[in-house]
Amino acid sequence: MEIGGIDATQWVGWAAVAALFLTMAGQAWKQWRDRVKHGVSRIFFLGQIAASTLFLVYSALVGDRVFVVGNALVLCAAIAGGAILMYNRARR
């Protein structure tokens, strides 16, 4: 089944990408706005960046555009979240 020329399965994938990215971007914005310095581990962000990078490479190798874009956005959100945390901690 197609919706607007795009397979319904692809729509589900794009909806998942949007939901995940908006959730992560919202969390990064909250960290920035509230100047969060504690409660989040640097190891969490390093692990998230490593996993997102590996998933991005895997997605590119298998040629899945939805996951390439999704994992690239998640990687950007992870980098932003880690950078915000480091910035806020440096401003003590």
Residue 39: the pLDDT is 67
Judge contact between 31 and 85, C-beta under 8 A: yes
Q: How far apart are CA 78 and CA 15, in angstroms?
A: 19
- The residue among 2 and 86 whose pLDDT is bigger is 86
Residue 22: the pLDDT is 84
- The radius of gyration of the chain from alpha carbons, rounded to an integer in Å, stands at 16
So where are the chain's domains? 13-90
Residue 92: the pLDDT is 67
Residue 85: the pLDDT is 82
**pLDDT tens profile 4-58:** 777 878 888 888 888 888 887 787 788 778 877 676 677 877 888 898 899 899 9
Q: How far apart are CA 59 and CA 68, in angstroms?
A: 5
- Indicate the pTM of the whole model: 0.72
Q: What is the CATH number of domain 13-90?
A: 1.20.1280.290
